[in-house]
Structure 1
Amino acid sequence: MLKNLKLTTSIIMLSSLLVLVAGCGSKKANDSKKEISVALNSELSSVDVSLAMDNTSSDVMEQVGEGLYDFTAKGGVKPALSTNKPKATDHGKKYVFNLRKDAKWSNGKPVTAKDFVYSWRRTVDPKTKSPQSYYFDGVKNYQAIANGKKAPSSLGIKANGKYKLEVTLDRAMPYFPSILAVSASFPLYQPYVEKQGKKYGTDAEHTLYNGAFTLKGWNGSNGEWSYVKNKDYWNAKHVQLDKVNVKVYKTEQTMVQQYQAKKIQFTQISGSTVKNLKKDQDLTVRKIPGNQYLVFNVKENKLFANQKVRQALAMAVDSNKLTKHVLQDQSLPATGYVPYGFNNSKTGKDFAKQAGQLVQNNKTKAQKLWAEGLKELGMTSAEFSILSSNTETAKQVDEYLQSQFETTFKNLKVRVAAVPFNSRLSKQNSGDFDTVLSGWTPVYADPTDFLNLLMTNNNNNNGKWSNSEYDQLIKDANDKYALDEQKRWDNMEAANKIAVEQAPIAPLFYISQVYLKDPNLKGMMLGPLGQPYYKDASYK
């Protein structure tokens, strides 16, 4: 996520690749100005703030939950449940927040400081296995808790009374305020969560809400649900929509048809659909600092434990052709791991542009490395599968990669396993894959939001690649050089180079977000990750 909070970087973060597409319903939006229909292109996996890591879950959480801060249209943050934006004291390591006294849960109970304390402790507890826990890296004692050396109760957050919250960091973190606007930092009402146990967040009926809307109609696996105005929301009088209907679609053709029939007010599109509609006045394109890449399972597949094999596969992909002839949605070929959009606050230089062209497309060298890698492994041929979501765009990328790999390496057989989004997410998180088509859109405006993902102990390092030099570079960037911008930058640039050279992933492209939006849908702000804020929207 990002911020205009004078973070170490100065970008405007916008959106995520495969989220938000507008929906549908037999009832037209103009039949009721207080009800609209929208859609997504992937299923909902969880509405538990500790587990809601993917884009769709994050999208939903923005509608039904709320934290200390909200994002602004320009990527900054503004008070939400906090009534103030405190300046950090104690050399940038302490924040004290005053909470609203009129905020309530959807069961009528007040939202208090201890709800934040419980939520954060629950998320960082290793027993929770939260993929979001590392966002709290930098909060006092997080590392010791993650390593099992201290109890979650030692985390640097405490309630000073009912409506005052104190947060203590291990080090100054200029981007920390932006983390307070993402769902990972939202509160949880302990009595309700513990009563529901393992059922919490698995469907609409076993979840509690403190946002502008409550969730209705989601049974944990279906592709349709609604956001219904929350009468207990502290700012309910500002919310103009009574209901937002959501439906998941798999084909863009259907989405466009629904949009053109005025049954959909907002839909994301990609590929040739963008090309065909490029003259449509409702079409908008946004460049965002997000990427797509292929993850190699270094731990579970001996083929990818070999660095030369990984390098060969990464070099075999022509990302220029992928973006120009396959995607056709103004995405850009990847030049490195970290995408464009992060500027050094001292020099003003863009991180990716300064790093230069790290990604290589060299089929001759790729074939040489492939042959050497197989020889080292005692193999004469190989095969593997590419796991991905069964969306149209993912399928197009899968087919392109399959063709590139099998054409370049005659003794390689590549299978494609396109599965429903939730299945892909589950398999990816459990390490049940050879390679997986994945990607990232940032939570805060700093290259470390990408680089942290490849650290040895990061929960999102699904391929389980480990490199001690890389880990130390990022650790020093986060700790030792936290307030020395140039040294931080040098460390991050060095780590970015290692990530490309050793190829635990194969960077493919930097994403763009393209969508159609009904001009009568007003005030719908798109957040840094691309989620719409329906609490600000109206339909005229």
Structure 2
Amino acid sequence: MVTRRSTSLIALGAVALLALAGCSGGNSANGGSNGSKGDSLVIDTAFSIETGDPGHTYDPTGNMIAKALYETLVDFKGSDVSTPIPGLASWEQNDAATEFTFTLEGDRVFSDGSPIEAKDVVFSLQRIQGMEDAKPNFLLGGLTITEVDDKTVKISSETPLLQLPAILANPALGIVNSDVVMENGGATDGSDSAQKYLDGASAGSGPYVLDSLDLTSQVVLKKNDEYNGDEEAGYDRVVVRNVTESATQLANLKGGDSMVAMDLNGDQVAGLGDGVKVDSVPSGQTIFLLLNQSPAVAGDLANVKIAEAIRYSLDYDALLELAGAGAVQATGVIPPGFEGALDSGVKPDAEKAKAALAEAGYTGQTLKLQFPNDYPVGGVEFTPLAERIQAQLKDAGITVELAPQPFATELDAYVAGTEGFGLWFWGPDYADSANFLPFAPGLKVGLRSGWAAEANPEIAGIAADAASATDAATRAEDFTKFAEAMQAEGPFVPLIVPGRNIATADDVTGAVYNSVWEMDIAEINPAG
């Protein structure tokens, strides 16, 4: 059984709209830059948010706001996503990892003072299951959620699901006040219409409540006076502003108009002076190359040995120069910090590359490298990265033609599996290595690369073992085997895990990156 740790996440409630400066950078801190308790916390980030309704949110900024407004059954501490810990509930599971029992502990309350009960948990999760168009809907696929008593909920899975606790830590699965949401259109049968209400008010249980939401300019949070968890709000008010240009974020931070800048690139954080702190860490995303294994798509270039030759032809240190602070070489399809991640990546080896090309029968055919040219990932621009890959492969005797397209256009080709040679990225939906099994032959990303299960039954079997494991130790071994096998064979060439740089004023502490919810606002406090 997992022991109880009364971890709070964040809360919400309904208040009036505050007129504050938008992304242009007026002094929204209102003189609060000394960081004392009770002042405003001002955060600048480039918005990726569609709603304040946790049941519909699935974007980076949306996840961060939901985390600051709604508590989940399970949590992670800070940037550590390796070990789930209790949030609103402790849990135990059966030996087959198909039945999980969650027990609400303590007398926790929503922002209106009403108690959190099992009925709220069941409603919150079944509401998402009933909304087929909701982005988080897939997280709860195949699950049966039932109320045992006022404090206990049972969740059953059709198959072993050791990753369920990690899934339930996703902010999209925050627990809402069922009475309030049902009074405002909430339902579990697919007829839910509560999103409009939750875009203007809140119904959660954490340290903050929603004050106002403008999807284009700013989100304002306010301290929840009814909060009774163990994460006291560090500020009376939090203003999250949409500042799309990293240079403007930097100017606002240096000028004292904001206290947190979330989107500075590696070059910018390298030049920061006194008065600013930076948390630079690898993100949870991996930038990789894929070589399609379908002859209908790639013709005679559909050969895993060409991918192997590319793996050993690249100078990964030189590619990392384009990524900046916090970035590291991808050691495999599982990024650092996740179970099964390898300690080191592939090193250039000209002899191995030459032998692989010879075995593939490569005679100088041109590989057309397709990639999105308007969608940087973690500050990494794909065009200069593609140009450097092209130059390095030319030195290895591999001819590459660059074929950039806008993100929306290229995404269609990637998802449809019609890219012969592509440069793409992948990030986790929740904090568990099961997120990276889709790279296996016969699974989602493998199939996008024309890599059927029968192309490599051994790796397909390892992935299946990891997915169905009922023992944590065995599962960890399976993930390591999977990472090792994928790094040795197959159509993928992991390149870079981009860095994530969060810069703060010296008078702010606790602003750290998390690969699932970007940053936990409830952990940010005035220094000292």
Give the TM-score taking structure 1 as reference length. Answer: 0.71
User: Cα 1:34–1:363, aligned 2, differ >3 Å: closer, same or farther?
Assistant: farther
Q: Structure 2 matches for 1:423-442, cutoff 5 A?
A: 431=416, 434=419, 435=422, 437-440=424-427
Residue matched to 2:154:
166
User: Cα 1:517–1:484, aligned 2, differ >3 Å: closer, same or farther?
Assistant: closer
Residue matched to 2:480:
493
Q: Structure 2 matches for 1:21-36, cutoff 5 A?
A: 25-29=25-29, 31-32=31-32, 33-36=38-41
Tell me how far apart the structure 2 counterparts of residues 114 and 229 of structure 1 sit (CA, whole Å). 26
Tell me how far apart the structure 1 counterparts of residues 410 and 119 of structure 2 sit (CA, whole Å). 31
The worse-fitting range, judged by mean Cα deviation, of 512-521 and 93-102 is: 93-102
One-letter identity of the residue aligned with 2:335:
P
Tell me how far apart the structure 2 counterparts of residues 183 and 494 of structure 1 sit (CA, whole Å). 30
Q: How many residues get paired?
A: 481
Structure 2: runs of 5 or more not aligned: 5-21, 33-37
CA contact (8 A) 1:289 1:341 kept: no
Q: Structure 2 matches for 1:372-387, cutoff 5 A?
A: 381=366, 383-387=368-372
One-letter identity of the residue aligned with 2:297:
K
Tell me how far apart the structure 2 counterparts of residues 46 and 430 of structure 1 sit (CA, whole Å). 25
Tell me how far apart the structure 2 counterparts of residues 73 and 464 of structure 1 sit (CA, whole Å). 38
One-letter identity of the residue aligned with 2:26:
S
Q: Structure 2 matches for 1:32-431, cutoff 5 A?
A: 32=32, 33-49=38-54, 52-73=57-78, 75=80, 79-82=86-89, 85-88=90-93, 93-98=99-104, 103-104=109-110, 111-121=116-126, 123=128, 127-128=132-133, 130=135, 133-134=138-139, 145=142, 155-169=143-157, 176-187=164-175, 189=178, 191=182, 192-194=185-187, 205=199, 208-210=202-204, 211=206, 212-214=208-210, 216-219=212-215, 222-230=216-224, 238-268=232-262, 269-277=264-272, 280=274, 282-288=276-282, 290-294=284-288, 296=290, 298=292, 302-303=297-298, 306-308=302-304, 310-311=307-308, 314-315=311-312, 317-323=314-320, 325-342=321-338, 351-353=341-343, 357-358=345-346, 362=350, 365=353, 369=357, 381=366, 383-387=368-372, 390-391=375-376, 394=379, 396-405=381-390, 408=393, 412-417=400-405, 419=407, 431=416
Tell me how far apart the structure 2 counterparts of residues 207 and 364 of structure 1 sit (CA, whole Å). 60
User: Cα 1:69–1:429, aligned 2, differ >3 Å: closer, same or farther?
Assistant: farther
Q: Structure 2 matches for 1:436-475, cutoff 5 A?
A: 437-440=424-427, 443-444=430-431, 447-452=433-438, 454=440, 456=442, 465-467=451-453, 469=457, 470-475=459-464
Give the superposition deviation at 1:332: 1.8
User: Cα 1:334–1:538, aligned 2, differ >3 Å: closer, same or farther?
Assistant: closer
Residue matched to 1:18:
none
CA contact (8 A) 2:51 2:57 kept: yes
Residue matched to 1:478:
467
Q: Deviations over 1:22-73 (max 9, x none)?
A: 9874125361453121122352245554554443332222112221233334
Tell me how far apart the structure 1 counterparts of residues 441 and 56 of structure 2 sit (CA, whole Å). 20
Tell me how far apart the structure 2 counterparts of residues 390 and 177 of structure 1 sit (CA, whole Å). 32
One-letter identity of the residue aligned with 2:102:
V
Give the superposition deviation at 1:201: 5.0
CA contact (8 A) 1:117 1:158 kept: yes
Residue matched to 1:19:
none
Q: Deviations over 1:400-447 (max 9, x none)?
A: 22342266357543133455xxx5998599649844532325843x54
The worse-fitting range, judged by mean Cα deviation, of 503-512 and 252-261 is: 503-512
> Secondary structure at 1:29's aligned position in 2?
coil
CA contact (8 A) 1:291 1:507 kept: no
The worse-fitting range, judged by mean Cα deviation, of 46-55 and 361-370 is: 361-370
Tell me how far apart the structure 2 counterparts of residues 100 and 48 of structure 1 sit (CA, whole Å). 26
Whichever of the two has the greater Rg, that structure is 2
Q: Deviations over 1:78-97 (max 9, x none)?
A: 54433xx2444567644231
Tell me how far apart the structure 1 counterparts of residues 192 and 411 of structure 2 sit (CA, whole Å). 17
> Secondary structure at 2:88's aligned position in 1?
coil
Residue matched to 1:150:
none
CA contact (8 A) 2:66 2:174 kept: no
Structure 1: runs of 5 or more not aligned: 7-21, 137-141, 146-154, 344-349
Q: Quote the RMSD (CA, aligned, Å).
A: 4.7
Counting aligned pairs with the same residue, the percent is 13
> Secondary structure at 1:117's aligned position in 2?
helix
User: Cα 1:94–1:217, aligned 2, differ >3 Å: closer, same or farther?
Assistant: closer
> Secondary structure at 1:338's aligned position in 2?
coil
1:521 maps onto 2:528 in alignment: no
One-letter identity of the residue aligned with 1:29:
A
The worse-fitting range, judged by mean Cα deviation, of 169-178 and 334-343 is: 169-178
Give the superposition deviation at 1:507: 1.0
Give the TM-score taking structure 2 as reference length. Answer: 0.72
The worse-fitting range, judged by mean Cα deviation, of 159-168 and 446-455 is: 446-455
Give the superposition deviation at 1:267: 1.8
User: Cα 1:166–1:460, aligned 2, differ >3 Å: closer, same or farther?
Assistant: farther
One-letter identity of the residue aligned with 1:415:
A
Give the superposition deviation at 1:132: 6.3
> Secondary structure at 1:326's aligned position in 2?
coil
Tell me how far apart the structure 2 counterparts of residues 539 and 329 of structure 1 sit (CA, whole Å). 25
Q: Deviations over 1:185-230 (max 9, x none)?
A: 32354733449968765896377541423262334xx253333445
User: Cα 1:35–1:389, aligned 2, differ >3 Å: closer, same or farther?
Assistant: farther
